[in-house]
Amino acid sequence: MSAHRLASAVATASITQPPSSLDYFVDRGFRSLTVIAAVLIILLVGYILWQIGGQAAPAIAEYHLGFLTSTTWDVQQARFGILPEIWGTLYSSLLALLIGGFFGLGVAIFLTQEFLPAKLAVVFRTIIEMLAAIPSVVFGLWGIFVVIPAIRPIANWLHDVLGWVPFFATSLSGPGLAPATLVLAIMILPTVAAISQDALHLVPFRTKEAAYGMGATRWEAILKVIVPTAAGGIFSAMVLGFGRALGETMALAMLIGNSNQISLSLFSPAQTLASLLASHFPEAGQVEVQALMYAALVLLAITLVVNIAGIGILTVTQRKISGKS
Amino acid sequence: MNKANLATAPATPAPIIPNLKRSIADRRALRSTLLSGCCWIVALIASIPLFSVLYMLIVKGGARLSLELFNELPPAGFELGGGFGNAIVGTLVMVGIAALISIPIGILAAVYLAELGPESRLAQWSRFLSKVLTGFPSILAGVFVYATLVLAMGTYSALAGGVALAVLMLPTVILTAEEAMKMVPRKMKDAAMGLGCTRTQMIWKVVLPTGLPGILTGVILGIARVAGESAPLLFTALFSNYWLNGLREPTASLSILIYNFSSMPFENQIELAWTASLVLVIMVLVFNILSRLIGRPRI
């Protein structure tokens, strides 16, 4: 086609044309909207901090830092303290991380190191992700009617035989730290497994090949080469799983026993910050609500620190690995 | 090598051909096999809870499943029968409000993060804070909305519940929508710009339609996550034993119903709690499967 005919064809067709002024106007407007939406996220987080802090301010002025170290929760005398709750939150989350982190890492290794043919691996991965989809209250209900009866005989046997060990010092009558921790571990397992799988996938194939090429057995390669290479991502998976455990509310409120005491025993009832809020708020009077807001602020501070640390570690390790390979 | 070379070359030992077969009794191989066995056991144990939960839901929840559940109101303490129709309606209404709020804002923010300013400071902060918000404890979202909406409106309301759920749904929508939009091939976007589109036209005509499956996946995943939430509703929508009368009143929801009934000493309530759990889990699993089907890569 000659240039002349091409030019005339384009001129009459006019599919392409410069944007009209309406188009420019709409373009500017839409782009500003998106900027506003992105700014909104930042403002939202700031607003959340400001609101919860503002609600907690009267209680902070009233109880100061003694709130964090006192152990009484007396509505009549208006003396409040959340030390048992802070202990309960950290203890239960740590134990849950030990169990859930171990099993989550195991599942991640199982899924990424070709223990299953590819199609079955997809099925198993779906099973683990379905576990993440089950709501917290359903886990709580299941915990009450399945986990507690299941571990009660074991717990009481441990208490009878090994009662001198501080971990087994009390008997399990119903809700307590042990069933709550077990259910919490089940709930963070999918989180840890998913992020660990991503970390293990990021290990370069050459590294794996090099390990096997030097004659390592399968588990020597996994434990001495692959997992250490993915260690940064796995660590961030643990931190994020810990963060998730800290904020978990409903299953714990139903299983942990709601009792303000500090005890090393795995079978005693306890209380976490989140379960304190969930169980006391619905019927709280004005004074108690302010104390609860202070507790909410403490919970916010703890979870923010842990989550920011986890995401920071994840971002840095992802950048390092993709930079190296 | 022939004998002549052998006579003159320095004495080298015969080449060792390594035996690549590892005998099972070799200590390292044995350790590896044992660890593999442990790994299988770990994986099996990890899958027990899901099957146990599903089993209990189907057996105990399914026993009570009937059509009247969807028409009747929750029973009081000593009553028999009853259902949780108002709870289902409440959950759907609040999830709907959450979707209405978080989908537009989420997609707009994702457009900015993916297209209009991916490397800018605003985008980096926005992305970082969205990731932080995904790990936000759900009960604190309830406390936040209590501090703002409930105190301002003077009453617990379904609207406040919906807003709390929107706060929880927003980060999921933003992050998955951004991923979906980043997957759109550069050539398609360049072609649109080359034809004279403004950036908005390019986004509306190329990026959004192409990224729609991924965006929908994120939206549905967000809905699935938020439908099962109960902690934020404790502070915002509370509970009600009656049908939904308007958005400015407390509402029942499936998750709070399960929470309340689970602690009651009545057999009827416990059965209803199991059935409500079954309905809730079916809802959430259907959404999850839907999101997988829609998000399947089609290229």
**Pick from B125, B140, B229: which is nearest to A42 by CB?**
B125
- A 10 A CB-CB count for A194 gives 21
Angle in degrees, 0-180, between the axes of helices B121-134 and A21-63, rounded to the nearest 10: 50
Which amino acid is present at B241? N
Interface A-B, measured as beta-carbon pairs within 8 A, has a size of 250
Signed CA dihedral, A20, A21, A22, A28: sign only: positive
Q: How far apart are CA A9 and CA A91, in angstroms?
A: 76
Say whether B52 and A26 touch across the interface (CB within 8 A): no
Name which of A10, A141, A189, A313 to mutate to probe chain B: the one with the most chain B Cβ atoms within 10 A of its Cβ: A141
Q: How far apart are CA B164 and CA A279, in angstroms?
A: 19
Q: Which helix (H) or strand (E) holds A73?
A: strand A73-74
Alpha helices for B57-137 (secondary structure H):
62, 85-111, 121-134
Closest alpha carbon to A130 in A173, A87, A189, A77: A189
SS (H, E, C) A219-284: HHHHHHHHHHHCHHHHHHHHHHHHHHHHHCCHHHHHHCECCCCCCCCCCCCECCHHHHHHHHHHHC
**Pick from B49, B171, B199: which is nearest to A186 by CB?**
B49
Task: Categorize the per-residue pLDDT at A261 as very low, low, confident or very high, splitting at 50, 70 and 90.
Answer: confident
**A164 DSSP 8-state letter:** T
Partner A contacted by B259 (CB < 8 A): yes
Task: Name B56's Cβ contacts closer than 8 Å, sequence gap at least 6.
Answer: A142, A145, A146, B274
Q: Which helix (H) or strand (E) holds A74?
A: strand A73-74
**Pick from B112, B148, B262: which is nearest to A38 by CB?**
B112
Say whether A55 and B147 touch across the interface (CB within 8 A): yes
Say whether B255 and A41 touch across the interface (CB within 8 A): no
Partner A contacted by B164 (CB < 8 A): no
Q: How far apart are CA A15 and CA B163, in angstroms?
A: 45
Would you state the pLDDT for residue A325? Answer: 42
Which amino acid is present at A323? G
Longest Cα separation, chain B: 105
Residue of chain A whose Cα is closest to the Cα of B19: A215
Task: Categorize the per-residue pLDDT at A5 as very low, low, confident or very high, splitting at 50, 70 and 90.
Answer: low
**Pick from B32, B140, B277: which is nearest to A138 by CB?**
B277
Name which of B56, B84, B112 to mutate to probe chain A: the one with the most chain A Cβ atoms within 10 A of its Cβ: B112
Partner A contacted by B274 (CB < 8 A): yes
Residue of chain B whose Cα is closest to the Cα of A222: B32
Q: Which residues of chain B lie closer than 8 angstroms to A298, CB-CB?
A: none
Q: Which residues of chain B lie closer than 8 angstroms to A120, CB-CB?
A: none
Average pLDDT over residues A202-218: 89
Paired strand residues for A80: A73
Residue of chain B whose Cα is closest to the Cα of A50: B144
Partner A contacted by B293 (CB < 8 A): no
Distance set, CA B205 to CA B176, B201, B210 (Å): 20, 6, 9
Place of tokens 């009960």: B139
Residue of chain A whose Cα is closest to the Cα of B194: A16
Mean pLDDT, chain A, rounded, equals 85
Paired strand residues for A79: A74
16-35 in B: which are within 8 Å (CB) of A?
22, 28-29, 31-32, 35
**Pick from A131, A278, A303: which is nearest to B49 by CB?**
A131
Q: Which residues of chain B lie closer than 8 angstroms to A35, CB-CB?
A: 112, 116-117, 122
Say whether A274 and B32 touch across the interface (CB within 8 A): no
Alpha helices for B24-63 (secondary structure H):
27-56, 62
Average pLDDT over residues A219-244: 90
Residue of chain A whose Cα is closest to the Cα of B192: A16
**Pick from A18, A129, A220: which is nearest to B28 by CB?**
A220
CA angle (A130 as vertex; A126, A131 as ends), nearest 5: 120
Distance from CA of A68 to the nearest CA of B (A): 19
> pLDDT per residue over A194-205, tens digit each?
999 999 998 999
pLDDT at A172 over 70: yes
**A51 DSSP 8-state letter:** H
Q: How far apart are CA A174 and CA A236, in angstroms?
A: 34
> pLDDT per residue over A38-81, tens digit each?
999 999 999 998 888 888 888 888 777 777 777 777 777 777 77
Would you state the pLDDT for residue B299? Answer: 42
Closest alpha carbon to A45 in B171, B121, B232, B133: B133
Detail the DSSP E strand segments found in chain B.
none
Which amino acid is present at B111? V
Would you state the pLDDT for residue B5? Answer: 53
Distance from CA of A283 to the nearest CA of B (A): 11
Average pLDDT over residues A167-180: 82
Name which of A23, A50, A129, A134 to mutate to probe chain B: the one with the most chain B Cβ atoms within 10 A of its Cβ: A134
Say whether B259 and A254 touch across the interface (CB within 8 A): yes
Q: Give yes or no for a contact between B168 and B229, defined as CB atoms under 8 angstroms apart.
A: yes
Say whether A106 and B39 touch across the interface (CB within 8 A): yes
Task: Compute the radius of gyration of chain B from its Cα atoms.
Answer: 29
| Structure tokens belonging to residue B20 | 């690549």
Q: Is B14 exposed, middle or buried (0-12, 13-18, 19+ CB in 10 A)?
A: exposed
DSSP assignment of A275-309: HHHHHHGGG--HHHHHHHHHHHHHHHHHHHHHHHH
CA angle (A283 as vertex; A279, A289 as ends), nearest 5: 85
Enter the pTM of the model.
0.85
DSSP SS3 for B227: helix
- In tens digits, what is the pLDDT along chain B, a chain of 299 residues? 455 555 555 566 777 777 777 776 678 888 888 999 999 999 999 989 989 999 999 998 888 777 777 777 777 777 777 778 888 888 999 999 999 999 999 999 999 998 887 788 888 899 999 988 988 888 999 889 988 888 888 888 888 899 999 999 999 999 999 988 988 899 998 998 888 888 888 888 888 898 888 888 889 988 988 988 888 888 888 788 888 778 888 888 888 888 888 888 888 888 888 988 999 999 898 888 888 888 765 54
Partner A contacted by B216 (CB < 8 A): no
| Structure tokens belonging to residue A275 | 């379960």
Q: Give yes or no for a contact between A112 and A197, defined as CB atoms under 8 angstroms apart.
A: yes
Say whether A27 and B138 touch across the interface (CB within 8 A): no
